[in-house]
Amino acid sequence: MARQDVAPTDGKAGIDAGATPPGFAHLHLHTEYSLLDGGNRIDRLIARVKELGMSSVAITDHGNMHGAVAFATTAKAAGIKPILGVEAYVAPGDRRDRTATGVQDGGWHLVLLAENNTGWANLKYLCSEAYLTGFYYKPRIDRALLEKHGSGLIAINGHLGSEIAHHLMHYEQTRDEAAWAKAVDVAKWHAAAFADEGTGPRFFIELQHHVPEQNAINPHLIR
User: pLDDT tens digits, residue range 103-137?
Assistant: 566 789 999 999 999 999 999 999 999 999 999 98
Mean pLDDT of the chain: 89
Domain 17-222: what homologous superfamily?
Answer: Metal-dependent hydrolases (3.20.20.140)
Q: Higher-confidence residue: 36 or 151?
A: 151
Average the pLDDT over 90-115 and give the result: 86
In the chain the beta strands, taken as DSSP E runs, fall at: 56-59, 81-90, 108-114, 140-141, 153-157, 203-204
pLDDT at 215: 85
pLDDT tens track for 143-200: 999 999 999 999 999 789 999 999 999 999 999 999 999 999 999 999 999 999 999 9
Phi, psi of 28 (to 5 degrees): -135, 100
pLDDT at 3: 33
Entry pTM = 0.88
Cα 63 to Cα 42: distance, rounded to the nearest angstrom: 17
**Strand pairing category for 153-157 and 108-114:** antiparallel
pLDDT at 154: 98
